[in-house]
């Protein structure tokens, strides 16, 4: 940890002995900032803005029966088609200054056990900017949870690995979600993941980090990963379902279904190009009691993202161009000061050091 699909990579960790009780520790970190410009921004957003994207340290013990992982500091969570929050507000409103941290029991054999603030099993994109092919997460990620508090058991043997977790879904502090993942690794170049999870109860609580409808949903992914000498390709499909629940205002079951293709190509040891294309659609209409999961009830959208990346040892810099176009929208629920523009284009630069 932290999980990174590339193209960025952390430096070799600094290792030191913290004594009898804390063990041999590995430490890495990141310090980075970003600047962006966009059109059709909402009244709560900016035409252009700059902020810290990451100021985090990762401390972990990866040997012995008792292991642990701690990730602390500041971060931002930019995502396509949504207004930006300042880094200060992101830390306050989402996962705090320790966004991930857990204890791991790793007895000899195929099983391990985790407890704490865990990265979600859902989706092909991870939570923080440096972990992913692109700076911003995509439209499908907007329907997924990111950090779960709970318990997790892992199993791995041969070509098969799996995980099962009991958690609080969209960081609700209500422990009524179960999520499972099954991975089959055919060979070093090809693997497929099946992911499913959902709320088996009912949660009336909501916050910035806990969207009401998504936290009462179920989510399913099929993710395929192909790794070649210069290519990484990762197509996946996703289905979400919010059941009828009049107690939280869902008068008719509402779903989303979408797909994305993510990929990177390595031109040189220092330069790569990442791309992502997505399409996501939601069901229902304003007249049948369905709820708004995107840009109005029954809306759909596509996005395209290009992210060239340069890294030389600890230093990295990457640019990003993205476009989102929404269709079948509801006036007031889309982009711009009045919420009526159906397209948003962004340009972004992120640079920093991984140490």
Q: Do you know the residue count of the chain?
A: 355
Q: Does the residue 194 lie in any domain?
A: yes
Q: Does the residue 1 lie in any domain?
A: no
Collect all residues with Cβ–Cβ distance below 8 Å to 160 and sequence separation of at least 6: 182, 183, 184, 185
Q: Does the residue 6 lie in any domain?
A: no
Asked if 173 contacts 95 with a C-beta cutoff of 8 angstroms, the reply is: no
> If you count DSSP H runs as helices and E runs as strands, how many of each does the chain have, helices first?
2, 17
pLDDT (0 to 100) of residue 94: 97
Asked if 170 contacts 176 with a C-beta cutoff of 8 angstroms, the reply is: no
Rounded Cα distance, 308 and 318, in Å:
6
Asked if 221 contacts 257 with a C-beta cutoff of 8 angstroms, the reply is: no
Number of domains the chain is built from: 1
Query: What is the pLDDT confidence band of residue 351, given thresholds at 50, 70 and 90?
Result: very high
pTM above 0.85, yes or no: yes
Rounded Cα distance, 161 and 139, in Å:
27
β-strand partners of 355: none
Rounded Cα distance, 124 and 261, in Å:
10
Residue 118's H or E segment, with its range, is strand 111-119
Q: Does the residue 5 lie in any domain?
A: no
Q: Which of 195, 193, 143, 202 is nearest to 172 (CA)?
A: 202
User: What value does the mean pLDDT of the chain take?
Assistant: 95
Helices (H), the chain: 87-93, 212-215
For the record, the structure tokens of 267 come out as 């031109």
Rounded Cα distance, 72 and 55, in Å:
8
pLDDT tens digit string along 64-94? 999 999 999 999 999 999 999 999 999 999 9
Q: Does the residue 76 lie in any domain?
A: yes
pLDDT (0 to 100) of residue 20: 76
pLDDT tens digit string along 228-243? 989 999 999 999 999 9
pLDDT tens digit string along 276-326? 999 999 999 888 989 999 999 999 999 999 999 999 999 999 999 999 999
Q: Which domain holds residue 321?
A: 14-354
pLDDT (0 to 100) of residue 41: 94
Q: Does the residue 167 lie in any domain?
A: yes
pLDDT tens digit string along 145-166? 999 999 999 999 999 999 999 9
Q: Does the residue 295 lie in any domain?
A: yes
Q: Does the residue 153 lie in any domain?
A: yes
For the record, the structure tokens of 282 come out as 């939601």
CATH number for the domain that contains residue 344: 2.40.160.10
Return the residue matching tokens 């070799």. 12
* Radius of gyration from C-alpha coordinates of the chain: 20
């Amino acid at each position: 940890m932290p999980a990174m699909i590339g193209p960025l990579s952390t430096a070799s960790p600094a290792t030191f002995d913290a004594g009898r009780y804390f063990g041999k520790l590995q430490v890495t970190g990141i310090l980075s900032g970003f600047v962006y410009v966009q059109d059709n921004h909402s009244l709560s957003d900016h035409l252009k803005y700059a902020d810290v994207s990451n100021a985090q340290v990762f401390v972990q013990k990866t040997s012995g029966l008792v292991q642990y992982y701690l990730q602390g500091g500041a971060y931002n969570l930019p995502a396509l088609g949504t207004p930006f929050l300042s880094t200060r507000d992101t830390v306050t409103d989402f996962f705090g200054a320790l966004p991930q941290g857990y204890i791991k029991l790793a007895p000899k054999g195929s099983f391990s056990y985790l407890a704490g603030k865990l990265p979600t099993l859902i989706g092909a994109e991870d939570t923080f900017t440096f972990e992913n092919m692109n700076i911003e997460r995509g439209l499908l990620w907007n329907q997924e949870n990111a950090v779960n508090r709970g318990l997790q058991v892992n199993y791995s043997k041969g070509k098969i690995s799996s995980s099962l977790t009991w958690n609080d879904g969209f960081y609700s502090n209500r422990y009524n979600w179960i999520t499972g993942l099954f991975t089959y690794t055919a060979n070093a170049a090809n693997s497929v993941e099946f992911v499913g999870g959902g709320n088996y109860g009912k949660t009336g609580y909501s916050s910035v980090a806990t969207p009401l409808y998504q936290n009462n949903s179920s989510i399913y992914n099929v993710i395929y990963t192909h790794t070649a000498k210069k290519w990484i390709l990762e197509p996946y499909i996703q289905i979400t379902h919010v059941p009828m629940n009049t107690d939280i205002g869902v008068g008719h079951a509402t779903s989303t279904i979408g797909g994305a293709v993510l990929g990177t190509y390595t031109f040189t040891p220092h330069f790569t190009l990442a791309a992502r294309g997505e399409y996501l659609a939601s069901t229902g209409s304003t007249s049948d009691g369905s709820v708004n999961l995107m840009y109005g009830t029954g809306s759909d959208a596509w996005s395209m993202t290009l992210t060239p990346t340069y890294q030389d040892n600890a230093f990295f810099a990457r640019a990003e161009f993205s476009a989102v176009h929404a269709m079948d929208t509801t006036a007031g629920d889309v982009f711009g000061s009045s919420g009526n523009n159906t397209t948003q284009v962004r340009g972004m630069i992120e640079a920093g050091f991984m140490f």
